[in-house]
Amino acid sequence: MVDSLLDRRSVLKASGVATVATVGLAVGTAPAPAAAAVDATFAHGVASGDPLPDAVLLWTRVTPTPGATPGSGVGPEVDVTWEVATDPAFAAVVASGTARTGPDRDHTVKVDATGLAPATTYHYRFHLGGAVSTVGTTRTAPAATAAVSRLRFGVVSCSNWQEGHFAAYRYLAERGDLDAVLHLGDYLYEYGAATDGVRRHVPAHEMVSLADYRRRHAQYKTDEHLQRLHASVPVIATWDDHEVANDAWSGGAENHQPATEGDYAARRARAHRAYFEWMPVRNQADRLYRRLRFGLLAELSMLDLRSYRSQQVPPFDDGVDDPDRTMTGAAQLAWLRDGLVGSDAQWKLVGNSVMVAPVLVPPLPADLLGPLLELLGLPREGGVINPDQWDGYAADRRLLLDAIADTGVRDTVFLTGDIHSSWASDVPRDAGLYPLSPSVATEFVCTSVTSDNIDDIAGVPPRTVGPVIETALTTLNRHVQWVEVDSHGASVLEVTPAGAQMDWYFLANKADPASTLTHARSYRVRAGTQRVRRVGSPIGN
C-alpha cells in the first residue's frame, strides 16, 4: 500500500483494513413514467446551470445531419434558436436568441440567457429547422441583497455509467422543490468498457483523445434519468479526477501512461475542452473555480482541486506536511480564503470534490507531539490513509482553517463527494485535540450515485463489514459524527437562517433503473455552532 499511490477502490479498501486493524475489531419514490420520444436532432437533451439573479446558462447539443455524431468532427455549421418563457406553453417569451454551432465545438450550444428576474422559475427550449427540443425548467438565483428564508440543493457525485443506473438523479428530478443540484465531481469516468459492468462504456477503450471525451460525454447524456434531471433544475458542477484520469494532479495522473497515452497536459486540455463544451458551467478559459450568490442567506464557492495540486505522496508519508506542496494552488487558496473571510452572506458553502475533515490513524495533537512525530517520520497530525484528499495537503488545510478560526468566520459548510460513502463531520482546527480544539466548520459528504463502495469492492452483501469499519473510523476520529460506507444514492441540503441540514437517501438497487430511494439519515448544524447533530426526520417536500 505504501509503495504506490492508491486509486479510489484501493483507498476505500485500505481505509477499512487500516482502521479495523488499529481498533482491533473491538470496537422512495415511485418509478418514473416512460420518457417521451425525443427528436433525434436533440438526442442529448437540454440543461441549465450556474444561475445568477438575472441570468442562467442554457445548454443543448444538436445533430444537424445523421453523420454529425458526437466526436465525429463532421457536419455543417448551423444556427440554433433558443427561447425562455415564464410559462411552459411559451405564451410569454421573455428572452430569445440564436447561437451558431458546428463541429469545432461538437455541435454543442451554451448560451447565457440574460435580462431575467431574480428567484423566478423559467421554461426554455431550442429550435433547429422544424425540430424542437424538450422543454426545460430552470430557476434564477435570488437578488444579491434579498432576505432569503430557504434554499434547497440536491447534492451528488461519482456516477459511473458501468456500475449502475442513475435512479438517484430521477429522485432529485421528481422532488420539484430544489433551487439547484450540486454535482461535486466524477460526473463521468474515463475507464474503458468493463466486461462485468451493468452497462458498457462507449468508446470501449479508455478515453484519451478529444473525440473519446466527447463521445463519453454524449453517452452519459443519453441516460433518461440524467436528461430528466438536467431538464428539471439548474446544475452547478465541478470536476474531480475521472473527468480526466484517475488521481489526477497538475502534472499527471495515476491512470495516465505517457509512453502510450502521450503528453498529460495535452490530454487534460482535450478533456477540459470537452467538459466545457458539454457542461453548463461558467468557466473563464480553463479556470473552473467560481462563486455563486443566493441572496444574503448563502454564497457558494465551487473549487477545482485537480488542476493546480502537487503530486500525491504515499499513505502515511510525512510529505503531507510539506508547505511547498499544494492542493489548491496559491491563487485559488487566496481566492477561497478571502471569499470566506469577506463574505456578508450568512452561510458560506464550499463545493469541495475531496474530503477536508481529517481521517487519520490515529489523529494526534500536532502542536504537542510534532517533534516526536517528525523524529518518527510520521505526519504531524497522524497517519494519513488517503493522501488524495485534503489529508495529503495538510499545510494548505491548516492555512485555510486558521484563516476561518482567526477571523471568526461562522457557518461554513463543506459539501463533498469523491469517497463513495456518506459522512457528517465537524471540521476541527486540530483533530488530535478535538473536542478541546473547537470545530471551525462542518462537512457533509454525499455518497456515490453508482460508483463502487466497500461492499461492492469486497463482493459481500451490504452491511456485512461496513458497520465494523464505520465504528473504527468514528472511534479513531471523534469529530466524525457518522459514516456509512455501503450505500448509493443522493442527498438534499436545506439552508435556512436557523441552520443547514443534509438528508441522505439510499438506493434499493443501483442495478435497477426503476429503483426506489428511501431516507437513511439526517444531520443538522445550527447557525453559529459549527457542530453537527443527528435529527430524526428529513426536510419536507
By CB atoms closer than 10 A (0-12, 13-18, 19+), residue 457 is middle
Confidence at residue 499, expressed as pLDDT on a 0 to 100 scale: 98
> Cα dist. 475→19, 315, 362 in Å?
9, 20, 10
Question: Which residues, at least 6 apart from 319, have a Cβ–Cβ distance to it below 8 Å?
Answer: 313, 325
Confidence band (pLDDT; 50, 70, 90) for 364? low
- Report if residue 220 sits inside a domain: yes
Confidence at residue 363, expressed as pLDDT on a 0 to 100 scale: 61
- Report if residue 101 sits inside a domain: no
Cis status of the peptide bond prior to 362, with omega within 30 of 0: yes
Look at residues 282, 307, 279 and name the one whose alpha carbon lies nearest to residue 293.
282
- Whether the pLDDT of residue 32 is over 80: the answer is no
As a whole-number percent, the residues of the chain with pLDDT over 90 amount to 84
Q: 3-state DSSP: the chain helix, strand, coil percent, rounded to 5?
A: 25, 25, 50
- Report if residue 379 sits inside a domain: yes
Cβ(307)–Cβ(286) under 8 Å?
yes
Three-class SS of residue 311? coil
Average pLDDT, the chain: 91
Cis status of the peptide bond prior to 315, with omega within 30 of 0: no
- Report if residue 98 sits inside a domain: no
In total, the chain counts a number of residues equal to 541
- Whether the pLDDT of residue 99 is over 60: the answer is yes
> Cα dist. 75→3, 62, 102, 434 in Å?
49, 10, 7, 60
Check residues 263 and 433 and name the one with the higher pLDDT: 263
Confidence at residue 161, expressed as pLDDT on a 0 to 100 scale: 98
User: Which domain covers residue 182, as residue numbers?
Assistant: 8-26+141-535
Give φ, ψ of 233 to 5 degrees: -160, 145
**DSSP-derived secondary structure for 91-111:** SSEEEEEEEEE-GGGTTEEEE
Crossing angle of helices 167-175 and 224-232, in 10° steps, is 30
Could you tell me the CATH number of the domain that includes residue 388? 3.60.21.70
Confidence at residue 405, expressed as pLDDT on a 0 to 100 scale: 97
Confidence at residue 432, expressed as pLDDT on a 0 to 100 scale: 86
Three-class SS of residue 241? coil
- Whether the pLDDT of residue 25 is over 60: the answer is no
- Whether the pLDDT of residue 17 is over 60: the answer is no
* Strand boundaries in 286-409, DSSP class E: 290-294, 298-302, 347-352, 360-361, 383-384
Please give the average per-residue pLDDT across 172-185, as a whole number: 98
For 128-133, which contacts have Cβ atoms below 8 Å and span 24 or more sequence positions?
128/41, 128/42, 128/62, 128/64, 128/78, 128/80, 128/81, 129/41, 131/39, 131/41, 131/42, 132/39, 132/42, 133/39, 133/41, 133/42, 133/45, 133/46, 133/60
Confidence at residue 379, expressed as pLDDT on a 0 to 100 scale: 60
Please give the average per-residue pLDDT across 161-184, as a whole number: 98
- Whether the pLDDT of residue 415 is over 50: the answer is yes
Confidence at residue 362, expressed as pLDDT on a 0 to 100 scale: 62
Bridge partner list, 125: 83
- State the Cα–Cα distance between residues 5 and 389, nearest whole angstrom: 12
Q: Cell for 439?
A: 470545530
Report which residue type is found at 393: Y
- Whether the pLDDT of residue 27 is over 50: the answer is no
- Report if residue 479 sits inside a domain: yes
- Report if residue 71 sits inside a domain: no
- Whether the pLDDT of residue 273 is over 90: the answer is yes
- Report if residue 407 sits inside a domain: yes
Please give the average per-residue pLDDT across 478-492, as a whole number: 97
Confidence at residue 400, expressed as pLDDT on a 0 to 100 scale: 98
- Report if residue 130 sits inside a domain: no
Confidence band (pLDDT; 50, 70, 90) for 385? confident
Question: Which residues, at least 6 apart from 75, have a Cβ–Cβ distance to it below 8 Å?
Answer: 63, 64, 65, 67, 68, 102, 103, 107
Residue 7, sorted as left (phi over 0), alpha (psi -120 to 50) or beta, turns out to be: beta
pLDDT digits (tens, 9 = 90+) for 421-466: 999 999 999 998 999 999 999 999 999 999 999 899 888 999 998 9
What is the tally of structural domains in the chain?
1
The CA-based angle 466-472-474, given to 5 degrees, is 100
